[in-house]
Amino acid sequence: MEKVMCYIPKTLNEALEIRNKEDVIVLAGGSDLMVSHKRTIGLTPKFDKSVMIIRNLPEIRKIYMDGSECHIGAACTSREIAESPLVPWHVRQAASRMGAIGLRNSATIGGNIANASPKGDTPGPLYLLDARVKIASTDGVREELVSDFIIKFRTIDLKPNEMITEVILPLSEDDFDYVFWHKVGTRKANAISKVTLSQAVKFASDGTVCDYRASATATGSKTNRSRDVENIIIGKRIAPELIEEVIAAFDGIISPRAMPEFRRESCRRSIRRFLTEAEKRRIEGCRDKVIDTYDGYYVPCAPVCRLS
Amino acid sequence: MDKTISFKLNGEAVSITTDPLRRLLDVLREDFKCHGVKEGCSEGECGACSVLLNGEMVTPCLIPLGAADGQEVVTVEGITATEKGDIIVQAFADGGAVQCGFCIPGMVVAAYYLLSRNPNPTEDEIRLGISGNLCRCTGYDLIVESIKLAASRGGDIWKK
Ligand SMILES: Cc1cc2nc3c(=O)[nH]c(=O)nc-3n(C[C@H](O)[C@H](O)[C@H](O)COP(=O)(O)OP(=O)(O)OC[C@H]3O[C@@H](n4cnc5c(N)ncnc54)[C@H](O)[C@@H]3O)c2cc1C
Ligand code: FES
Ligand code: FES
């Protein structure tokens, strides 16, 4: 078998130069690429193009604040993100539940976005918080909303000479009164999301909603979020009928394929739970920001299998 | 295309000229004879191959050798040569944690990684600490008990 080239640049500039000369496969943590290109035990994975390893580039492996915006380097691992107090709560939650411990020391946020899987864990919170990706090439840098950058299943808006260098978060939990994140998985570790809901709400002083957001993963060909759905409740006071209206509208924007009714019902319950509890806490003056699901909340409601 | 990759392996500087896209797992086993690094699933699910890369537990079945260039790798062989590693091995033996033994090198690495970061873990924290390591024999309870034993026997050693 012909061996392809493997570049191991030491600086970001070097990496961008290589990428400008050759359409290399960018490999960060390798946790998607090494699996998708694996052969059998003992054999080297088979890549059809040259590979450039960016895992250890210092410029894209740091987390910092610029004003009120949190910048996460593209090669930061899930553990680094989950453990950083600078990172917004929803993103920390998602990072802390990816794979298991070993995986979280390899999986990067850049890889999770570029992989563009609708089941990926970080896009949900990133859509919710209007996160942007910073993209660099030898031509310069540009920024784009993550929700525009991910075009659809496994398709991203990246030119052959570009690389993701950062993820920028303009918002955090501080911008909301109550927040919610819940991943339904088959077990606590190494569970690919069955469905994950991220939500956040902020109230005006008169008790009406001034901001509400909800995003869902594993419910379609990409992460789902819709300003039109959220606008139904903005400017109004939360009431049961209004919650049902939001739920019905959200149901209309998702298109889960496998186990659709289970996934739809999980979304309905998450939205109902979050908005009901947020309104209750607002009235009580409770400032406890995180709204959890409660035990037994997710009773699977997949269709019953009949043997006959 | 072959390249020379240099890194620290169990405290010693090593280098090797080979295809940098070979899995770190294969290079550790075949070229450096670290046979404690086991291959179970080949796709990051089982933790049998766990090693430390720059002090962080990773699964080298998912890592190309080139990613270790200039970095530091510690395998179970490196860990068991230390006082901390010895405490874990003894605790696993005394606690009856081992049946077929296939998962145990990975479990030892996971225990070491856990106790080095959290010298006094609760049972839940221990279970979380080994949640990426599958064992098909023991049912985990005696492994969890043995890690508790290693924590208490090691005491302040884990804080160093
Ligand atoms: C056992 C196991 C469990 C997993 N569990 C989860 C889970 O719970 N949740 C989840 O979301 N995912 C999970 N994954 C999938 C995977 O770990 C994540 O998608 C991870 O974030 C990928 O990051 P990486 O750096 O390892 O990607 P890589 O494999 O290095 O790259 C993935 C893709 O991104 C591209 N890429 C990487 N970095 C850049 C960059 N800076 N610029 C441009 N393109 C780039 C690559 O070219 C490639 O197309 C799991 C995988 C395994 C093996
Ligand atoms: S062989 Fe590496 S995790 Fe299973
Ligand atoms: S002892 Fe056999 S797999 Fe764990």
Q: Is A163 strand, coil or helix?
A: strand
Name the helix (H) or strand (E) containing A149: helix A146-149
pLDDT-based confidence at residue A1 (cuts at 50, 70, 90): low
* Residue A297 lies inside a defined structural domain of this protein: no
Long-range contacts of A154-162 (CB under 8 A, 24+ apart): A154/A115, A154/A116, A154/A117, A155/A116, A156/A113, A156/A114, A156/A116, A158/A114, A160/A19, A160/A23, A161/A16, A161/A19, A161/A20, A161/A23, A161/A137, A162/A19, A162/A135, A162/A136, A162/A137
The whole-number pLDDT of residue A295 equals 40
- The domain that holds A81 is classified in CATH as 3.30.465.10
Q: Is the predicted pLDDT of residue A302 greater than 70, yes or no?
A: no
A28: closest chain B residue by CA: B67
Task: Dump pLDDT digits (tens) for A162-202.
Answer: 999 999 999 999 999 999 999 887 777 777 878 899 999 99
- Looking only at the bridges linking them, the beta strands covering A163-169 and A132-137 are antiparallel
Beta pairing partners, A195: A184
- The per-residue pLDDT for range A2-51, each reduced to its tens digit, is 779 999 999 999 999 999 999 999 999 999 999 999 998 889 999 999 99
**Residue A108: inside a domain, yes or no?**
yes
Q: What is the band of A294 on the pLDDT scale with cuts at 50, 70, 90?
A: low
Does the pLDDT of residue A304 top 80, yes or no? no
Domain assignment of residue A301, yes or no: no
Whether A307 maps to a domain, the answer reads no
Edge-to-edge strands, sheet with A140-145: A63-66, A69-73, A163-169, A132-137, A140-145
Enclosing domain of residue A202: 177-291
Instruction: Out of A24-28, A304-308, B37-41, B82-86, pick the least confident.
Output: A304-308
CA of B101 to the centre of ligand 3 (A): 5
Contacts of A51 in chain B (CB under 8 A): 21, 64, 66
Interface probe, candidates A5, A6, A26, A79, chain B, greatest B C-beta count within 10 A: A6
Sign (positive or negative) of CA dihedral B29, B34, B35, B38: negative
Domains of chain B, each with CATH number or no CATH: 3-78 (3.10.20.30), 82-153 (1.10.150.120)
Q: Which two tokens stand for residue B132?
A: 């990426």
Beta-carbon contacts of A152 under 8 Å, excluding residues fewer than 6 positions away, are: A116, A221, A222
Write the ipTM: 0.97
Virtual CA dihedral for A249, A252, A255, A259, nearest 10 degrees? 80
Cα A211 to ligand 1 centroid, rounded to whole Å: 32
Mutate to test the interface with B, among A44, A46, A48 (most CBs of B within 10 A): A44
Quick check: is A47 in a domain?
Answer: yes
- Average pLDDT of chain A? 92
User: Domain containing A241 — which CATH number?
Assistant: 3.30.390.50
Alpha carbon nearest to ligand 1 atom 9, residue: A98
Looking at the structure, do residues A165 and A183 belong to the same domain, yes or no?
no
* A148 shares its domain with A181: no
Q: Is the pLDDT of residue A240 over 80?
A: yes
User: Token pair for residue B81?
Assistant: 């040569």
| Structural domain total, chain A | 2
Domain contains A118: yes
Contact B106, B47 (CB under 8 A): yes
- Say what percent of chain A tops pLDDT 70: 94
Q: Please indicate, yes or no, whether residues A118 and A241 belong to a single structural domain of this protein.
A: no
Task: Give the pLDDT of residue A301.
Answer: 37
Which contacts qualify for A170-173: CB closer than 8 Å, 24 or more apart? A170/A68, A170/A69, A170/A129, A170/A130, A170/A131, A170/A132, A171/A88, A171/A129, A171/A130, A172/A70, A172/A88, A172/A89, A172/A129, A173/A88, A173/A89, A173/A90, A173/A200, A173/A289
Query: Closest residue of B to A35, CA-based?
Result: B43
Are A143 and A61 within one domain?
yes
- Out of B1, B39, B44, name the one closest to residue A3 (CB): B1
* Same domain, residue pair A67 and A109: yes
Residue A144: pLDDT band with limits 50, 70, 90: very high
Residues A38, A162 within the same domain: yes
* Domain match, A79 and A63 both: yes
Domain assignment present for A45:
yes
- Compute the distance between CA of residue A235 and CA of residue B141 in angstroms, rounded to an integer: 53
pLDDT digits (tens, 9 = 90+) for B98-150: 999 999 999 999 999 999 999 999 999 999 999 999 999 999 999 999 999 99
Residue position matching structure tokens 């890369």: B53
Phi then psi dihedrals of residue B108, to 5 deg? -65, -40
Q: Is residue A28 part of a domain?
A: yes
Which of the listed residues B27, B42, B57, B134 should we mutate to test ligand 2's pocket, taking the one with most ligand atoms within 8 A of CB?
B42
% chain B with pLDDT above 90: 99
- If asked whether residues A239 and A263 sit together in one domain, one would say yes
Asked if B113 is an interface residue toward chain A (Cβ–Cβ < 8 A), one would say: yes
Query: What predicted TM-score, i.e. pTM, was given to this entire model?
Result: 0.95
Q: Please tell me which of the candidates B3, B23, B61 has its beta carbon nearest to residue A6.
A: B3
Region A245-263 average pLDDT: 93
Query: Could you tell me which chain A residue has the CA closest to the CA of B42?
Result: A41
Shared domain check, A127 and A87: yes
- Asked whether the beta carbons of residue B61 and residue A99 sit closer than 8 angstroms, the reply is no
Do A39 and A119 lie in one domain? The reply is: yes
Amino acid at B44: G
Length of chain A: 308
A231 and A135 both lie in a single domain:
no
CB contact (8 A) between residue B45 and residue A190: yes
Do A23 and A125 sit in the same domain of this protein? yes
